[in-house]
Amino acid sequence: MFGKMKDAARWGALEQKLRRVLAAKSVHKGASVRLSEIGGEERISIVLAESPDLDGAGAKALEAELNEAAGGIPVTLVVTLHKAAGTASEAPAPERVARGHDNPLALPQQGGPANANENVRARPAKQRPIGAKRVIAVASGKGGVGKSTIAARLAIALANQSKGRVGLLDLDIYGPSLPVMFDLEGVNPKVDEGQVIPLEAAGLSLMSIGFLVSEEKALAWRGPMVMGASKQLLDEVRWGPLDWLIIDTPPGTGDAHLTLLQRTRIDGAIIVTTPSPLALADMKRGATLFRQMEVPILGLVENMACLPDGSPSPFGDTLSDEDLAGAGMERLAQIPLDGGVAAPIGRARPEAGQAPFETLARTLSELDRFAERR
């Protein structure tokens, strides 16, 4: 709308309009109103200090009003317990989201609501989830390319190779896949003093929104709720010491991605594609947001890249070495289209289809940046 934020005058007018909406509710003091462009999409982030005039329902209504005023640019409202200071492009203050949105998973909080301030963990910006030594995000430019499968089987391969304790976090709020993949549907994790205890299966510690709320309930969530739930999954899971935390990111570049990238220190991202005429564009799209947020791209995994006997994939050609070099990307692995890979993992470690992931895990753990950290 503003043509890569060049039209300062028009943005200035819109910013004033949004500030007037805030002023009408007496919550404008110290508000940060920022326009950012992520993955080619403009969005507005408004950060407010907590105010007695704004409860959870009020914040939701205000966000709807701001969205209307913004004329098509999505607005996300975050209410902090501290003075408003965060912006969309900077790492946020150590806040929790709006009251009413700060605990969408309804975890019993230590000490109850009267002590809400005591629950705020003073987190400097961009930390790894507590206990995790290395954090790897698995991402793609489009959905359905096998991201969750690759994240899960890579995690299993790291555990198989005794590369230490491995956690797998499914951050797909709208379409969690871990419960089905690991045959854990309907199994609920324990909650202790406001922290969720991961489930254990296939030698991994597992956490997914799908273990905590029903899919229908999560589907009804809007921006602030998704951000609140993502924050809880990133901050309030008691992983214990982990050598590797593999994060399965949702498709697209939505609120869960923003939350992840703004507050989590990620050691590297693996981009997944499948052979297709658009694979190069997909790969670049997948990498853009991570690069913008200064997360190192570890490389590309081409899924369904060939048949199990090595013959060409029915989906098309894999990317050429020149394409990869042009995109400044390394190829980490090619995974065949294989019924063994598609088979459910269950609670035990699978053997069928697992071999290429063992190679991928070795490649990953031997990357200089990780080998150094033994």
Ligand X SMILES: Nc1ncnc2c1ncn2[C@@H]1O[C@H](COP(=O)(O)OP(=O)(O)OP(=O)(O)O)[C@@H](O)[C@H]1O
Please report how close the Cβ of residue 361 comes to ligand X at its closest, in angstroms: 16
Among 12, 143, 241, 314, binds ligand X (CB under 6 A): 143
SS (H, E, C) the chain: CCCCCCCHHHHHHHHHHHHHHHHHCCCCCCCEEEEEEECCEEEEEEEEECCCCCCHHHHHHHHHHHHHHCCCCCEEEEEECCCCCCCCCCCCCCCCCCCCCCCCCCCCCCCCHHHHHHHCCCCCCCECCCCECCEEEEEECCCCCCHHHHHHHHHHHHHHCCCCCEEEEECCCCCCCHHHHCCCCCCCCCEECCEECCEEECCEEEEEHHHCCCHHHHHCCCHHHHHHHHHHHHHCECCCCECEEEEECCCCCCHHHHHHHHHECCCEEEEEECCCCCHHHHHHHHHHHHHHCCCCEEEEEEECCECCCCCECCCCCCCCHHHHHHCCCCEEEEECCCHHHHCCCCCCCCCCCCHHHHHHHHHHHHCHHHHCCC
Quick one: 146 or 228, whose CB is closer to ligand X?
146
Asked if 251 is part of the footprint of ligand X (rule: CB under 6 A), the reply reads: yes
**Lookup result for tokens 């989590």:** 264
- The annotation status of 142 as a binding-site residue, yes or no, is yes
Closest to 173 in 3D by CA, of 108, 254, 92 = 254
Quick one: 70 or 361, whose CB is closer to ligand X?
361
Asked if 149 is part of the footprint of ligand X (rule: CB under 6 A), the reply reads: yes
Quick one: 86 or 176, whose CB is closer to ligand X?
176
Query: Under a CB-based contact definition with an 8 Å cutoff, are residues 180 and 326 in contact?
Result: no
Among 60, 147, 238, 263, binds ligand X (CB under 6 A): 147
| Phi/psi at 369 (5° precision) | -65, -25
Dist. CA 105–CA 229, nearest whole Å: 6
Please report how close the Cβ of residue 305 comes to ligand X at its closest, in angstroms: 8
Q: Which of residues 18-47 bind ligand X (CB under 6 A)?
A: none
Please report how close the Cβ of residue 292 comes to ligand X at its closest, in angstroms: 21
Asked if 337 is part of the footprint of ligand X (rule: CB under 6 A), the reply reads: yes
Stretch that binds ligand X, among 36-44, 102-110, 137-145, 194-202 (CB under 6 A): 137-145
- The annotation status of 71 as a binding-site residue, yes or no, is no
Among 281, 342, 348, 352, binds ligand X (CB under 6 A): 342
Please report how close the Cβ of residue 191 comes to ligand X at its closest, in angstroms: 26
Asked if 219 is part of the footprint of ligand X (rule: CB under 6 A), the reply reads: no
Q: Which of residues 282-321 bind ligand X (CB under 6 A)?
A: 303-304
Which tokens go with 253? 């570049």
Which residue's Cβ has the minimum distance to ligand X? 143
Which tokens go with 342? 């598609």
Stretch that binds ligand X, among 50-58, 75-83, 221-229, 337-345 (CB under 6 A): 337-345
Asked if 66 is part of the footprint of ligand X (rule: CB under 6 A), the reply reads: no
Asked if 253 is part of the footprint of ligand X (rule: CB under 6 A), the reply reads: no
Query: Under a CB-based contact definition with an 8 Å cutoff, are residues 345 and 182 in contact?
Result: yes
Stretch that binds ligand X, among 7-15, 21-29, 141-149, 278-286 (CB under 6 A): 141-149
The alpha carbon dihedral of 132, 138, 139, 143 has a sign of: negative
- The annotation status of 40 as a binding-site residue, yes or no, is no
- The annotation status of 146 as a binding-site residue, yes or no, is yes
Quick one: 63 or 172, whose CB is closer to ligand X?
172
Please report how close the Cβ of residue 142 comes to ligand X at its closest, in angstroms: 7
Asked if 146 is part of the footprint of ligand X (rule: CB under 6 A), the reply reads: yes
Q: Which of residues 345-364 bind ligand X (CB under 6 A)?
A: none
Asked if 332 is part of the footprint of ligand X (rule: CB under 6 A), the reply reads: no
Q: Which of residues 169-198 bind ligand X (CB under 6 A)?
A: 172, 175, 177
Quick one: 357 or 370, whose CB is closer to ligand X?
357
Residues at the binding site are 141-148
Binding residues for ATP: 141-148
Q: Note the residues at the interface with ligand X (CB under 6 A).
A: 140, 143-149, 172, 175, 177, 251, 303-304, 335, 337-338, 341-342
